[in-house]
Amino acid sequence: MKLLIEKVVYGGDGLARLSDGSVFVPFTLPGETVEAREVSTGGGRREAELVQVLQPSSARVAPECAHFGVCGGCQYQHATYDEQLAMKRAILSESLERAGLSELPAIVTHTAEPWGYRNRIRLRLAEVDGVLRVGYLRRGSSEFLPVQMCPIASPLLWRAAQALLTLLSEDAQWLRSALEVEFFTNAGETKLQMLLFVEREPAKGFERFSERLRERVPELVGAGVSVIASAGRNRKTQRMRPGTAWGADGMGCDAAGESYWVSRGAFFQVNRFLIDELVRLVTGGRGGSVAWDLFAGVGLFSRVLAKQFARVVAVEAAADDLARSFKSEGRVAVNATTVEFLRRAVLERERPELVVMDPPRAGVGAEVCALLARVCAPEMVYVSCDPVTLGRDLKAMVDSGYTLAELHMVDLFPQTFHQETVAVLRRETA
């Protein structure tokens, strides 16, 4: 098929319209004329694979990574960075408009270095032709793809992955047992944590294995094992139990003038260059008596808010790291889900001046939106990694009386279709 690409949609595919419907083609750009071959998906959505670009966009560039197009990690390396940002802004606007939101504020874009930004990578381990390799999954499949580079990863992470493979001759039992490995570093690449995922844990030798790796990568401060306790390779359905460990069980990560303790395997924002800017957008210029930080994680926003509000309540369902560090007068760490906390708060008629929320990709959902409408805080800041669920939730909040005052797109995930949005909602107080 010869197709004219109209736009790029969330997920990274280009959209072309035909008389009998739309076709989606990956690795294309708006305005391009391409030749594509339709593929069968069985899902009701017409998809095609790119055969050749007949008339390229002026924004098309050569990708930096040799695995681009085959690896499932990146979708936008064929576009200039300015074009990537333009596509993401268009997708954000369209997602919010489709949700029924009109009169959107101008989208303010926040960027940093678009390569080498990731502070965490999780690699698979598998033998290829008798040689142990690290890699990801091939795009759209569960097939292992050995890789020789990952230019969006912090250089230390890739150096650690290469060093790991040199241990095979000395510590084969641990590497042969591992299905995956995760590396995590701080913004300055001065410290490194490693987590091995295994199905069966060898009886001994992990301390020596870790120390040998530290000889090659001196930044390594801690390592641990996570034993996969359930069948199946789907990460979403796997159950894990902690195994043996070596060194520190986490490390301090500096951001926005604060130091956060992040346990091995715990969540922390992935872009090491933009964390400070994200915190500034959420917390800057705000202060008062009471603030709530919902889905607080390790307290990325809570710690800064505590300097500006007399009392900050940080709510997190997995609050181990938060409870360890967020304690003193005016700082309250609550180990609960956001919906559990809000149900109690509504009954007790608590009302903060600011609500911050940074939910997972599924968003906050209808019940949380309804409870927040009853809390009626004068200002809310919503941090989202999914424009579709963001649009759904913002529409509910606007319908309850809030005004969408600010929209910020913080590009935490360059070269990929993923995007982070900071939305500021305000309402008139009685």
Name the residue range of residue 40's domain.
2-60
What pLDDT was estimated at residue 313?
A: 96
**Shared domain check, 371 and 278:** yes
Residue-wise pLDDT tens for the chain (430 aa)? 999 999 999 999 999 999 888 999 999 999 999 999 999 766 778 999 999 999 999 999 999 999 999 999 999 999 999 999 999 999 999 999 999 998 899 999 999 999 999 999 999 999 999 889 999 999 989 999 999 999 999 999 999 999 999 997 776 789 989 999 999 999 999 999 999 999 888 888 999 999 999 999 999 999 999 998 765 556 666 788 889 999 999 999 999 899 899 999 988 999 999 999 999 999 999 999 999 999 999 899 999 999 999 999 999 988 777 877 788 889 999 999 999 999 999 998 889 999 999 999 999 999 999 999 999 999 999 999 999 999 999 999 999 999 999 999 999 999 999 999 999 999 976 5
Give me the CATH number covering residue 50.
Answer: 2.40.50.140
Q: Is 381 inside any structural domain?
A: yes
Distance CA 78, CA 336 (A): 43
Task: Enter the tokens of residue 99.
Answer: 């949700």
What pLDDT was estimated at residue 234?
A: 63
Choose the final residue of a domain: 254, 279, 307.
Answer: 254
What pLDDT was estimated at residue 195?
A: 97
**Shared domain check, 229 and 178:** yes
**Shared domain check, 304 and 376:** yes
Q: Is 95 inside any structural domain?
A: no
What pLDDT was estimated at residue 41?
A: 66
**Shared domain check, 414 and 360:** yes
39: Cα separation from own chain's centroid: 30
**Shared domain check, 241 and 163:** yes
What pLDDT was estimated at residue 157?
A: 98
Give me the CATH number covering residue 233.
Answer: 2.40.50.1070
Q: Is 248 inside any structural domain?
A: yes
Choose the final residue of a domain: 254, 285, 304.
Answer: 254
What pLDDT was estimated at residue 20?
A: 86
What pLDDT was estimated at residue 42?
A: 67
**Shared domain check, 422 and 338:** yes
What pLDDT was estimated at residue 236?
A: 62
Q: Is 172 inside any structural domain?
A: yes
Choose the final residue of a domain: 210, 228, 254.
Answer: 254
Q: Please check whether residue 293 is in contact with residue 302, taking contact to mean a CB–CB distance below 8 angstroms.
A: yes
Give the DSSP H/E element, type plus range, for residue 208: helix 206-216
What pLDDT was estimated at residue 325?
A: 77
What pLDDT was estimated at residue 326?
A: 85
What pLDDT was estimated at residue 331?
A: 93
Q: Is 262 inside any structural domain?
A: no
Q: Is 71 inside any structural domain?
A: no
**Shared domain check, 278 and 245:** no
> Which residues fall within 8 angstroms of residue 414, CB to CB, at 6 or more apart?
76, 81, 84, 111, 114, 115, 117, 152
**Shared domain check, 309 and 213:** no
What pLDDT was estimated at residue 90?
A: 97
Q: Is 15 inside any structural domain?
A: yes
What pLDDT was estimated at residue 285?
A: 94
| CB-count exposure of residue 323 (10 Å: 0-12, 13-18, 19+) | middle
**Shared domain check, 216 and 345:** no
Q: What domain count does the chain have? A: 3
What pLDDT was estimated at residue 231?
A: 54
**Shared domain check, 277 and 241:** no
**Shared domain check, 238 and 291:** no
Query: Residue written as tokens 């910020």?
Result: 408
Task: Enter the tokens of residue 298.
Answer: 């390790």
Q: Is 35 inside any structural domain?
A: yes
362: Cα separation from own chain's centroid: 12
**Shared domain check, 416 and 305:** yes
SS in 3 state form for 306-357?
CCCEEEEEEEECCCHHHHHHCCECCEEEEECCHHHHHHHHHHCCCCCCEEEE
Give me the CATH number covering residue 369.
Answer: 3.40.50.150
